[in-house]
Amino acid sequence: MRMCQLLVGLPTVTVLGVVDLLPTAPLAVHIETLCESPETCSACGTTATIKDRDAVMLTDLPVFGRRARLVWRKRRWRCPARSCAVGSWTELASAIAASRLGLTDRAARWATFQVGHHGRSVKEVADDLGCDWHTVNDAVMAYGERLVDDPGRIGPVDALGLDEALFTRRGRWRTKQWSTSIVDVVSGRLLDVVEGRDSLPACRWLANRDEGWRDQIRYGTLDMSGPYRTVFDTMLPAATQVADPFHLVKLAGSKLDEVRRRVQNETLGHRGRKDDPLYRARRLLVMAQERLDEHAQDKLTGLLKAGDPKGEVATAWHAKEAVRELYAHRDAELALEWVDQLSADMRDSSSPPEVRQLGRTMRRWRSQIAAWHQAQVTNGPTETMNGLAKRIKRIAFGMTNFRHWRIRVLLYAGRPDWSKLATVTP
């Protein structure tokens, strides 16, 4: 039994026996705790007596390639004083297992590390331990929540990014439910995930932070979203808002695509087909001008001449290239003048309606667009965190519980201090 106690690794327990019924069945290690001092009632202080012994089976880590179960013979104590209102109670030992969990303490910590750090599915870890999905998930939620809610996990932040991510689809009509990722874009660390993509949840999250922590944030990156702009205006008025360059160029490209499809329908009366000039030019239009060789430029010119009689697609293409050229330099003052002049040119009555709409958008976000040339921070790390969150969703084959979603994503992308996993208590 002494050798078994060393293998079990719990100095405060006594191994009563090991049961091995079948080679395919888990090993059952029966234990009980050592009573170093008499148990007393918490209410009256009377020395308690043993009322019963409950055999609680806990899933443990595999041993020697075999699945293992820890059968804890838990003592149920009783207060002998008739006037005491406590009655009876069951002994607790957090070193063996946390309350109301079906995994041993060490198995629960191992499962949390596997699911959180390595991004494994709960089903896969449950298969390794030979237990139910809920048994592993309850342990991961209990231990993981303490890790992700550790106040020391969120340090000082210089630039804060906000972006939405699709959480799930609910109901008969598969209504989209969104979440907002809050990211430190300098260090590339996911700070938290809040439900919804409007301004209220993010504002509430920032309101729960210390005022000194909010005051040190110098930049706020966003994707030209109105609700997120409200968040920064309300909670971080001193921070410089920076519109993400990728989303602006993407918006210019989408407007070019809208013009191409509209002109296609107006000139030929149908959607693009493989022999139509504008449909053949669709890939050349979205490519950067400097990446087009002489043959590609001649081909693009010929296709636009054949399929764009009014020059609207060509105008949208030049507008897209002008937006791209905005980020070819780092002069903040020149960038602001460039945005003002470019938005004014786009809003000219001779421009296509899609290009005029792009010009109005640039005029509304002129300061945020030009701020990139000074701040040099983007929302790219926020998009990366959303990619990691989607990986967790794919591994889980979809998630519907937001608490599970938040903890799983923060364990994987929030960079918790895994050295504290051995010390946290759920």
Residue 72's nearest CA partner among 28, 106, 109 is 28
Q: Distance between CA atoms of 320 and 285, rounded to whole angstroms?
A: 9
Q: Distance between CA atoms of 24 and 410, rounded to whole angstroms?
A: 37
Enclosing H/E stretch for 71: strand 66-78
Q: Distance between CA atoms of 406 and 381, rounded to whole angstroms?
A: 18
Q: Distance between CA atoms of 361 and 345, rounded to whole angstroms?
A: 13
Q: Distance between CA atoms of 311 and 319, rounded to whole angstroms?
A: 12
By CB neighbour count within 10 A (0-12 exposed, 13-18 middle, 19+ buried), where does 84 fall?
middle
Q: Distance between CA atoms of 402 and 408, rounded to whole angstroms?
A: 10
Predicted pLDDT at 280: 94
Predicted pLDDT at 375: 92
For residues 130 and 26, the answer to whether their CB atoms sit within 8 Å is yes
pLDDT digit string (tens) for the chain, length 426 residues: 777 777 777 777 888 888 988 888 899 999 888 877 778 887 888 888 888 888 899 999 998 888 999 999 988 888 888 888 788 888 888 889 998 899 999 999 999 999 999 999 999 999 999 999 999 999 999 999 999 999 889 999 999 999 999 999 998 999 999 999 999 999 999 999 999 999 999 999 999 999 999 999 999 999 999 999 999 999 999 999 999 999 999 999 999 999 999 999 999 999 999 999 999 999 999 999 999 999 999 999 999 999 999 999 999 999 999 999 999 888 888 999 999 999 999 999 999 999 999 999 999 999 999 999 999 999 999 999 999 999 999 999 988 999 999 999 999 999 999 999 999 988
